[in-house]
Structure 1
Amino acid sequence: MASSQSSQYSEGTESDHEECPCTSADPEGPQPLPDEVLYNKIDELMEFLLLKYSNKEPATKADMLHVVRGYEEHFPLILSKVFHCLYMVFGIDAEEVNAPGHTYALVPVLGLTHNREVGGEQEIPKTSLLILILSIIFIKENHASEEVVWDMLSRMQVFDGTEHDIYGEPRKFLTEDLVQEGYLVYQQVPDSDPARYEFLWGPRAYTETSKMRVLEHLAKVHGCDPQSYPRLYEEALEEEQVAPLA
């Protein structure tokens, strides 16, 4: 299911692979893997973990080592790249539930349950795209124009009207699916002529997550502290203080 999608990610991380100390020619460490072999193992482990996520099953270290059998000495490198891809591309976080690192629970980032509802045919998780839109709305003072959203998405090679390998038809996903599920509000900008449209957080987004959690996610992605965004931090903190009183 995810082979082509994770391949795109893997190929995009070639520079990381070349710079990573784990892949250098260290006579006392594992010999570097050819890129093709490394990416194939990333793909195999990615598919395995996405299936575990779809079935709501934990993943054990023993199971994952079995998937990459023959390359166990490279397991830490492969696993780190797979976990990074799951988080950034699919919106899935791996949490240790049986220390030290023997079993992982695969959970949606920020507590969003969108992908947990999909039934029938297995579907590629799209939570990361939802998180991105919620982040843009928050950054843009809780109203993100359609033009701004599509401009940001185009930087990820996600274009209006063009089918995407991971996210499918993005306009339908954003303006219909996520609106119907209550995660987004898609409305005309007041008094706009000709009509322009904007995105807001929907009621379900406020129920399942918070501005502080979104801000913490942004800070994690950019490797900084949430307080590095003073305006956003103040707004998120105010929301947290008001929430218990609601």
Structure 2
Amino acid sequence: MPRGQKSKLRAREKRRQARGEPQGLGGTQATAANVEESPNSPVSGDTPPSSPAAGASQEPQGSPATSSPAAGVSCQRSNVGAKSQVRKNKNSSQAPTSPESTHNDLLTRKVGMLMQFLLEKHKMRAPILKADMLKIINKRYREDFPDILRKASERMELVFGLELKEVKPGGHSYILVSSLDLTSDGSVSSPGGFPENGLLMPLLGVIFLSGNRTSEEDIWEFLNVLGICDGRRHLVFGEPRKLITQDLVQEKYLEYRQVANSDPPRYEFLWGPRAHAETSKMKVLEFLARIYDTVPSAFPFHYEEALRDEEERARARAAAGAASTTKAGARSRAKSSRSSRP
């Protein structure tokens, strides 16, 4: 990422921190990279950072950061940015934490590890057994397992569109079933309406939290956190570049355009007209709140923006309704006038 862009991101993060907002994407790409690697993890590598999808930005105040399910998956494009963020987060992680906060943070890491394990099993089409999941999270967390499994299941469906189901009640064996409408090439199709789960909502969340526009570099850093790499086919979403720069753009959910006067050319993402029409900032914020097990008002600055957006939408609907009523009245009067003529 160009040095000037990094400076802008740092300045934006400082403004958000001053407002008490959760960090945006640029400040959280490696928040958990200094966490010790679990020997039970099915894929080696550093514990991945938080993200709005499995947490895309930092958690709201008072909530623990959520680990990404893509531990150990590295993408070359984000290495430099990740290293700088590791140094930054090491310096900012010296504040004392309470035992309760530490426990909650451990549980959220376990959620991320379990999500990663579920994806690996789904990729191999292997059975998912409760006993194996307990080994992944460590049997010391047996009492917390129901809550960990619940959160991991919710986030698997919200982010990846994969629903965890028991093979038979009480059998302690599970399978993952896709709840996304996928085309034959693996891309997301949504002819019946707005897709409430899958990659689109997290992407819209990243864009919203970043000031309603996000550089392509930041989008790829976010996707890398989820183990979605440019040029590498993804198990759920197929070819990621085609999905985000063609499919979702052609469906008008995203806008992908060159940054004005950029040389060499740089690109950015915005909400597309269909996203504005079929969802809202409040709905996206509610989606993020579900990821975090919190409420939209936990993001105070963005919550205020979402409320203003709701008010503007309500006024627009009222104006459209009034115009429709006026037109209907005019047609009725014209029809009555014609029928009363001799």
TM-score normalised per structure 1: 0.59
Closer/same/farther in 2, CA of residues 80 and 149 from structure 1, 3 Å limit: closer
Task: Pick the aligned partner of 1:226 from 296, 316, 328.
Answer: 296
Match of 1:112?
A: none
- Partner SS state of residue 198, structure 1: strand
Distance in 1 separating the partners of 2:185 and 2:306: 35
- Report the counterpart of residue 143 of structure 2 in structure 1: 21
Establish whether residue 236 from structure 1 lines up as the match of residue 306 from structure 2. Answer: yes
Contact 1:146 / 1:196 at 8 angstroms: preserved in 2? Answer: yes
Give RMSD over aligned pairs: 3.9
Greater RCO (CA < 8 Å, at least 6 residues apart): 2
Q: In 2 relative to 1, CA 167–230 (structure 1 residues): closer, same or farther, beyond 3 Å?
A: same
Q: Quick one: distance in 2 between partners of 1:7 and 1:18?
A: 25
Q: Counterpart in 1 of 2:116?
A: none
Instruction: Report matched runs for 1:61-76 at 5 Å.
Output: none
Distance in 2 separating the partners of 1:198 and 1:12: 39
Aligned-pair distance for 1:225?
A: 2.3
1:87 to 147, 151, 158: 158
Kept in 1, the 8 Å contact 2:153–2:164? The answer is no
Q: Distance in 2 between matches of 1:159 and 1:214?
A: 24
Q: Report runs of 4+ in structure 1 exceeding 3 Å deviation.
A: 5-13, 76-84, 91-94, 121-127
In structure 1, list runs of 5 or more residues that go unmatched. 24-73, 95-105, 109-114
Aligned to 1:35: none
| 1:211/1:236 contact within 8 Å kept | yes
What residue identity is the alignment partner of 1:176? Q
Tell me the CA shift for residue 135 of structure 1.
0.5
- Give distance in 2, aligned partners of 1:8 and 1:174: 31
Map of 2:123 onto structure 1 = 4
Aligned pair count reads 175
Structure 2 residue runs without a partner (length 5+) = 1-120, 166-176, 190-196, 317-342
SS in 1 for 2:262: coil
Match of 1:129 among 190, 199, 203: 199
The percent of aligned pairs where both chains have the same amino acid is 36
Provide the C-alpha distance between the structure 1 equivalents of 2:125 and 2:275, rounded to a whole number of angstroms.
Answer: 27
The amino acid that maps onto 1:88 is: V
Q: CA 1:151 to 1:83, structure 2 compared with 1: closer, same or farther past 3 Å? A: closer
**Partners in 2 of 1:187 and 1:124 — Cα distance?**
21
8 A contact 2:207–2:270 mirrored in 1:
yes
Output aligned runs, 1:134-173, within 5 Å.
134-173=204-243
Q: Residue 128 of structure 1: SS of its match in structure 2? A: coil
